[in-house]
């Protein structure tokens, strides 16, 4: 019985019709290659089931070939970390990198532990707060790092995130386009929130809101939101309603109380968050959350840039939500 040997980089090169050194360049990024050549090599790797020798790779590069991903210990938002984790893992494999998952509840100690053991070549941090203790630990470690989220200060790490300031401006634009004199915001929109997306959203919204648009932030509970909305009855103008989070729960409470389905109330929502049974005017913004995969893939590519370019400066990249359709 003939023993089947594992495929080698020579086999990959032969199948892809390139030299063995070109295969090495594609795997390590040591030199640029064309997109068409990269696709042929990736197809050959997939067909052969080739896996580079991680031990030999580590000896050659003095790198582990592993990136750390620090995810939240719990999922504070409906989406949760899973779409990001899957997208990051898939993109990392394109660069011959494995992913080590660390929970964010370890905080700065977790960053120091990962950096001290040499397990990872770099880090991607999720669920970043406005003042995040992990960032000082990252700066002290010297590990290349990318933050999925934009804190108030960013020592020593790149940032990849959605442009929440632009989101705030677009919500104002939607309210004004519907002829509303008032914008009622709800869903954990605390001005002093530790969440970086909330503070940035409010900053962008207030900067875009003209003096004639009254901006009102509702308290958290459904009963308080309903009572506040009822206080606007009798006014001869329209109120726009927008929730950055908990919108389904709070809009259901408003609908149950008979507050929606009226011409003087306009719900601002997103195309990927359908509002079944709301009735009445709805101003639909294009999708808010199509970009988990885009943001995640970009974070991996940014970390690869930091790893491959010694001395590369960290940078901030803010992606706009998908505004492909007009309001």
pLDDT tens, residue by residue, 225-250: 888 888 888 888 889 888 876 666 77
pLDDT tens, residue by residue, 34-72: 878 888 888 888 888 776 654 444 434 456 788 988 886
CATH topology classification for 9-52: 434 Repressor (Amino-terminal Domain) (1.10.260)
Q: What is 61-156+291-319's CATH number?
A: 3.40.50.2300
Q: Looking at 183-197, 213-227, 307-321, which range is the least confident one?
A: 183-197
Taking the domains of the chain in order of start, what are their residue ranges? 9-52, 61-156+291-319, 164-285
Domain 164-285 has CATH 3.40.50.2300: yes
Give the rounded percent of residues in the chain with a pLDDT score beyond 90. Answer: 11
Whether 182 has a pLDDT exceeding 90, the answer reads yes
Whether 3 has a pLDDT exceeding 50, the answer reads no
**Secondary structure string (H, E, C) spanning the chain:** CCCCCCCCHHHHHHHHCCCHHHHHHHHHCCCCCCHHHHHHHHHHHHHHCCCCCHHHHHHHHCCCCEEEEEECCCCCCCCCCHHHHHHHHHHHHHCCCEEEEEEHHHHHHHHHHHHHHCCCCEEEECCCECCCHHHHHHHHHCCCEEEECCCCCCCCCEEEEECHHHHHHHHHHHHHHCCEEEEEEECCCCCCCCEHHHHHHHHHHHHHCCCCCEEEECCCCHHHHHHHHHCCCCCCCEEEEEECCCHHHHHHHHHHCCCCCCCCEEEEEECCCCCCCCCCCEEEECCCCCCHHHHHHHHHHHHHHHHHCCCCCCCEEEECCCCCCCC
| Whole-prediction pTM | 0.66
pLDDT of residue 80: 55
pLDDT of residue 271: 56
Most confident of 88-97, 101-110, 275-284: 88-97
pLDDT of residue 15: 92
Higher pLDDT, 162 or 16: 16
pLDDT of residue 186: 81
pLDDT of residue 251: 74
Whether 151 has a pLDDT exceeding 50, the answer reads yes
* 61-156+291-319 and 164-285, same CATH topology: yes
């Amino acid at each position: 019985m003939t023993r089947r040997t594992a495929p080698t980089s020579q086999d990959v090169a032969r199948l892809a019709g390139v030299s063995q050194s070109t295969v090495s360049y594609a795997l390590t990024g040591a030199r640029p290659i064309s997109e068409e050549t990269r696709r042929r090599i990736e197809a050959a790797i997939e067909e052969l089931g080739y896996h580079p020798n991680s031990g030999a790779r580590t000896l050659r590069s003095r790198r582990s070939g592993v990136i750390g991903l620090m995810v939240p210990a719990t999922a504070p938002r409906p989406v949760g970390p899973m779409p990001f984790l899957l997208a990051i893992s898939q993109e990392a494999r394109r660069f011959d990198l494995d992913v080590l998952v660390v929970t964010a509840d370890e905080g700065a100690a977790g960053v120091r532990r990962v950096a001290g053991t040499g397990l990872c070549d770099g880090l991607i941090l999720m669920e970043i707060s406005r003042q995040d203790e992990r960032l000082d630990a990252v700066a002290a470690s010297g590990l290349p790092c990318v933050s999925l989220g934009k804190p108030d200060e960013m020592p020593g790490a790149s940032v990849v995130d959605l442009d929440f300031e632009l989101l705030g401006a677009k919500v104002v634009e939607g309210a004004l386009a519907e002829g509303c004199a008032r914008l009622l915001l709800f869903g954990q929109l605390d001005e002093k929130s530790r969440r970086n997306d909330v503070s940035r959203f409010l900053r962008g919204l207030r900067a875009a809101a003209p003096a004639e648009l009254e901006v009102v932030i509702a308290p958290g509970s459904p009963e308080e939101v309903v009572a506040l909305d009822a206080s606007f009855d009798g006014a001869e103008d329209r109120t726009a309603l927008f929730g950055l989070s908990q919108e389904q729960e709070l809009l259901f409470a408003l609908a149950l109380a008979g507050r929606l389905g009226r011409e003087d109330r306009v719900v601002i929502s997103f195309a990927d968050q359908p509002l079944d049974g709301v009735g009445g005017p709805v101003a639909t913004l294009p999708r808010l959350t199509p970009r988990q995969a885009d943001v995640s893939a970009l974070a991996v590519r940014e970390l690869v840039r930091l790893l491959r370019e010694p001395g590369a400066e960290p940078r901030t990249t803010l992606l706009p939500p998908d505004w492909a359709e007009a309001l």
